Structure formats: structure tokens, C-alpha cells
Amino acid sequence: MTQGLADVDFSGKRAFVRVDFNVPLEDGVIGDDTRIAAALPTIQHILNAGGAVICASHLGRPGGEIVEELRMAPVAARLQELLGEEIAVKACPEVVGEIADAMASACKPGEVLLLENLRFEPGETKNDASLAEKLASYADVFVQDAFGTCHRSHASTVGVPARLQPAVAGLLVDKELKAFEKAMGNPAKPVLAIVGGAKVSDKMLLLENLIEKVNTILIGGGMAYTFLKALNQGVGKSLVEEDRVETAKRVWEKAKQNGVDILLPVDHLAAKSFEPNTDVKVVNGDVPEQRMGLDIGPVTREAYTAAIRNAGTVVWNGPMGVFEMDAFSHGTSAIALALAESNCVSIVGGGDSVAAIKRNGVQDRMTHISTGGGAFLELLEGKALPGITALQA
């Protein structure tokens, strides 16, 4: 059982809080502060309980080197704005070292210190013991609130909690775990999974695990054409992973054996080329040889939305087509809108699915939108997340 903030007395203590401040940053300007805002409840809880907060996050992929454009100072400035003037937020120019040592030691109850970009240190992604030891020395409590990094065995996610106890889940991570339990542990039935994206190979573990847990699976995106080919249907020039056709057959047979329905597209928006202003045609059944399927068609959209209306719980990961292009965004938008109008428990994860939800302005009508694409996917695949397991040690 993972402990949470309520299990710790933070009074007079420093908390090392692993946050996810990996925000879009260009020329020192933050494009979207959603991830910073998402960490505020945990930070404020600790401050209100009389503690000091030492935040640590990665930003981008600096590869273990200092990259000036990826410094955390703009993030600290935005965090200051969100928390308000009455709370002191300080930015540390290094992850570890003499300055970090001094600033961590001086961090008082009611104050927030944001360390420099964790991935400036090459030891972060290698779970380096000496780096983890030093980071652990800065605080009295470890709080994991970066769900999006919990599938990584890094120094800040696994190494620090191994050396710093108590180690507990923050409010954001706790919310993610409860949402997953609601969807997969004791769900309202029937349970429907919507799986999209380009490649079957990326979602194979996911599909095999879902077959054990759901009643119906809707498949869209490029991966649908590997399944359709496995069922001897014409797919034209559509994306097909030839080396996964036999695997798709096995998944199809396993689903049948488990009494799970897999729904595949019966019509398509098909084009002759992969570009925005291409000639688009609605095709029923087989895709003609000179065309490629780039989105689900209107009949499939209606079948999929009808399945959503009848579901008790829906988990969605992956788009139905090349939704970045307006001409092929209709299927993905139909799923987003159907979920918004449904009374089901709706759990959405994965960058493209979340982007589609926001693009259609229905993010407030979902039961839960996961903040961690990779971590969310690995949970659905049935894997243990190292960053969560570390809290249970």
C-alpha cells in the first residue's frame, strides 16, 4: 500500500518533491503551464503543514550536459506567480554542489526551492548512487508527485526514495493511481478500451493485457490496418507492419477465446497521398490499391460512438487517424465528443488522445486525464512502475 501526504507530519521538515515541470519552453517563455499548476496542491499542502519544499524536475533532453535554454529559472518564476508573493520561491543554479548544499540547508518552512534541471547531471538517468545520496541528504521526506516519470528508474525517482524515508505519493500521483484502480481494478461495466495509433508493435502488450480486463476493444489509427490485413481484408497502401500480421491474428484469436469483442473500421477516409490537401474519399470495406486509410469513416464513427454510449467505463489511448491534419481528425474528434456526452467513467491517457480532448474543448468533461503518457501506458500493460514500487519499499 502506497502512503500519501496525510501519513506524514511535515512540520519543521524539508520535503524533496519530485515534480514534473517538463513544460514547453521557447526563448524563456513557457508555452503551457498545466504541469506546474498540477503540482500546486501537493506543494501547498506541505507548506500549510509547516514544511519546506525542495522541488526537482527534468526539462527536455539535455543529455547530461548544461543547456542554457533548458534552465529552470523561467519555471521558478512561473511557480512564484502561481503560488503568490507571500511564498518565497528560489531557483538554484545547480542540481548538486556547494550552492545547492547551502540553499537546501537554508530552505525554511514556508519556502520553496527549485533545483536546476535534473538531467543536466549525467547520473540522473543512470540512477547514479552518489547523485541519489546527495539529493536525499537535502531533505527529511521524499514525495513522488511526477507520475509522468514513474516508469523511469532514475536517481530522482528510485534512488532518492531508497535512501530517504518516509517516501510517499503526492496528491497528483495518488489521483492517478486511484483513477487507474477505478478503471481497471473495480470498474463500472461494461468496460471498453479504445486503442489507436500508428503501430501494433507499440501497443501489443497493452492489447494482450486489456483482453484480460475489458469487454470490448475499439481499434483505430494505422494499427487497424495490420489487423485488417490479418483478417485478409484489402488495405491498399495503408500503413501495415508486415512482421506483426501473425501477432495481430494471435491477439484476435485470444480475444475471441476470452469473449472480448474487437471492433475494427468498416469504412475509411482514404487518400492517394499523405498530405493535407490530398484527394479524400470515403471507402467502404476494402481500401483500393492506390489509396491509404488515414481515418475511420462515418459508419465506423457511429458504431464506435454507440459502443461508448453503452459503456460503464472507457479507457482511451491513441488517435483514430492522422488527427493533426484537419481532413483526418474527424474520427478522433468523434471519440472525444462521444466521451464528453457519455455518463461513463472516462480515463484518457497518451499525448495524442489528451491533445484531441483539449482540441475539442472537452477536457473538463472527462473523469480523468492522465498526466503521464508512458507511465499510463505501462500501467495499462500490467507493468509495475519503478517510481511507485520505490514508495512501497
Clarify whether 234 is annotated catalytic: no
pLDDT given for residue 1 in this prediction: 66
pLDDT in tens, 362-383: 999 999 998 887 888 888 888 8
3-class SS string, 270-329: EECCCCCCCCEEEEECCECCCCEEEEECHHHHHHHHHHHHCCCEEEEECCCCCCCCHHHC
Query: What residue spans define the domains of the chain?
Result: 5-174, 187-380
Whether the pLDDT of residue 211 is over 90: the answer is yes
363's CB contacts (< 8 A; 6+ apart) are 354, 357, 369
What does the pLDDT look like over 117-158, one tens digit per residue?
999 999 999 999 999 999 999 999 999 999 999 999 999 999
User: One fold for both 5-174 and 187-380?
Assistant: yes
Q: Kindly report which listed range (31-40, 93-102, 367-376) carries the lowest average pLDDT score.
A: 367-376
Please tell me which residue in 14, 18, 35, 291 is annotated as part of the active site. 35
Cβ-based neighbour number of residue 290 at 10 Å: 11
Does the annotation count 351 as an active-site position? yes
Q: Is the pLDDT of residue 4 over 90?
A: yes
Q: What's residue 61's pLDDT?
A: 94
Catalytic residue selected from 13, 90, 126, 199: 199
H or E segment to which residue 184 belongs: none
Grid cell of 58 as nine digits: 527534468
Is 374 catalytic? The answer is yes
**Catalytic residue of the set 12, 63, 285, 351:** 351
What average pLDDT score do residues 319-334 get?
A: 92
Q: What is the rounded CA–CA span in Å between residue 213 and residue 314?
A: 12
Mean pLDDT for the stretch of residues 20-24: 93
Query: Residue 195 has what pLDDT?
Result: 94
CA 324 to each of CA 58, 132, 276, 375: distance values in angstroms, whole numbers, following the listed order? 27, 40, 9, 23
**Mean pLDDT for the stretch of residues 223-232:** 96
Q: Which pLDDT score, from 0 to 100, does residue 144 have? A: 98
% of the chain exceeding 70 in pLDDT: 99
Specify whether domain 5-174 bears CATH 3.40.50.1260: yes
Closest CA to 208 of 245, 263, 260: 260
Phi-psi region of 232 (alpha: psi -120 to 50; beta: other; left: phi over 0): left
Query: From the candidates 97, 110, 374, 382, which is the catalytic residue?
Result: 374
| Closest-CA residue to 23 (of 11, 14, 31) | 31
- Backbone φ, ψ for residue 200 (5° rounding): -60, -40
187-380: CATH, from 3.40.50.1260, 3.40.50.1950, 3.30.479.30, 3.40.50.620: 3.40.50.1260
Q: What is the mean pLDDT of the chain?
A: 94
Cβ atoms within 10 Å of 265's Cβ, excluding its own: 29
**Percent of the chain at pLDDT above 90?**
80
Q: Is residue 285 annotated as part of the catalytic site, yes or no?
A: no
Q: Where are the beta strands (DSSP E) in 247-343?
A: 261-263, 267-271, 280-284, 292-296, 313-317
Q: Is the pLDDT of residue 393 over 70?
A: no
Which three cell numbers, joined as nine digits, stand for 336?
472525444
Q: What is the pLDDT, as a whole number, of residue 153?
A: 97
Residue 52 has pLDDT above 90, yes or no: yes
